[in-house]
Chain A
Amino acid sequence: MNTTIMLFLMQDGITNGAIYALLGLALVLVFAVTRVILIPQGEFVTYGALTYASLASGQMPGTAGLALAMGIAAFGFDLFVQRRTLHVRRLVRSFVPNVVLPAIVLALTGFLVSRHPPILVSILLSLAIVALIGLYLYRIAFQPIAHTSVLVLLIAAVGTHLALQGLGLLFFGAEGQRGPAIADAALTLGPLRFTGQSLSVYAATVAFMVALWLFFGLTLYGKALRATAVNRLGARLVGIRTTLSGQIAFLLASLIGALSGILIVPITTLYYDTGFLIGLKGFIAAIIGGLVSYPLTAIAALLVGAVESFSSFYASNFKEVIVFTLLIPVLLLRSLAAPAVEEEKD
């Protein structure tokens, strides 16, 4: 085996793996807090990537309008729930984040899009749009059925995935897009050439993981989220609003998804439906991590990236088969290692 090829494949694997790690972390987070297996995670990736690419090419992304529409729907849900106890202060508290905020973002997007905003502004706008979509998605689709079984939540997640994917086609068309690179610099180490883009992938992944770690370890909201993950009822009894925890989890997940999309769209062409498969790979990493452990998920993601990169070189036809069947022995090992606890499900 040629060392250069191997190193090259490794590098490719690590770059992809870093993205899968981010997505895997988001999936673990959402599942732990809300018991939702976040199938639409892939849509957050494509939305982030294609919103960014659209902004960079001076096109108005449809997602900004979607965020406002979903915000209005979320406000409607709030209104419906509070219909018997309407109160001005609570109305305002729902109106501002659900309607005013996305309206501002939409206006800002419309204002900036024709003026060729700098890359950083485009990134921030894309992140804001997708994060809002994630937040409202929880309010509309999952909060009303938060108490039901994992199975029902899962089917709802699939439903939202279908709807969002269809909307993606509507907004971005069937053609793939690429976005401008975040950094043009390149670094050469021996036979390896690191592009600025892959370096920013590593940097962003590490930075985000550290930020998450700090968030969960040090902040009150982070601790509230962890408490909800461990025991919903217990968290409620000590005054944690579990709906808020769910909203934060979705917000973070959509933020992570959008960021991942923005990081890879300069490297690979993304289509409206690419996100699903990328999300699935993150999912595999999350599963290997047992849907609970963050560090294990990160390591597993790197492994998935490496396996994918090597199998696409040696047996490209069977690349997906290899990646997905990789899971079975891992699952088996995890099941055997897990203590035989009695499952008391709903």
Chain B
Amino acid sequence: MATVLDGPPNLAALYARAALTARGRGGALPDTHLARHGVTVDRDHLAAYARVCRLPLDDVLPATYPHMLTFPLQMALMTDRAFPLGLVGLVHVRNRIEVLRPVRAEEALDLEVWAERFATHRSGATVDLCATATVGGAEVWRSRSTYLSRGATAPDGAPEADVEVPVGALERVAATWRVPDDAGRRYAKVSGDVNPIHLSGLTAKALGFKRAIAHGMWVKARVLGALAGRLPEALEFDVQFKKPLFLPSTVALSTAEVAGGWDVAVRNAGSGTEHVVGTIRTLEEKH
């Protein structure tokens, strides 16, 4: 049974709570489900999101957009004291989104999030934050975000973490992007994801990063924007976040058309350091 919230949780407050309640966590994953019903898209927010991610503005939600609506719920779940892993130091390592059919901006969405698959990773433990969006009872969108907590221990008998997204050879560069110093702040303003590691060099240093890093979901959305007009209607977009994208950077997007979709990679334009690799595939009917 899901706990239904009336509105979106305040992310800044949740980050503050996370910092204050980092100690003394542990145990198994709670089976809490958080939900919001009848959520409608604020068109101005959608426009701001499209602008910051360089996505075309139309009536169909970008595949990554519902995450804007489900992420605050997932944050509420993760910052709750019952959640076994401290939010500080949690790293987003994989995100898989499935668009079961195009979702239009005017549709009222029922959202639900939960955590599952506490798993063992060679450098700690991972957990999946899942989300689903339904319209009139039919699922239209789902996502699975895998977070790694370094040094954490999964419960006995936990499965192996599944964080790899294999891609084919991606040698040809399709586009070069200059990612400015303020890319994190700009996306934070729209997404509400004000994690200090994205906001400035100082706040990132305080959390152990040498410089501010770009939001992975922003990079993912920009890849989507770069492929606008060439994507299947129902799709599965799975990415692995590899090395942090430090700000500012110049990165190179590589794309390769494969049967049923695309393989993509975003790498540092100079060093070749891999930031994001992913696959986009036509979603076949699975029922």
Co-assembled chains A and B: no
Residues of A within 8 A of B (CB): none
Residues of B within 8 A of A (CB): none
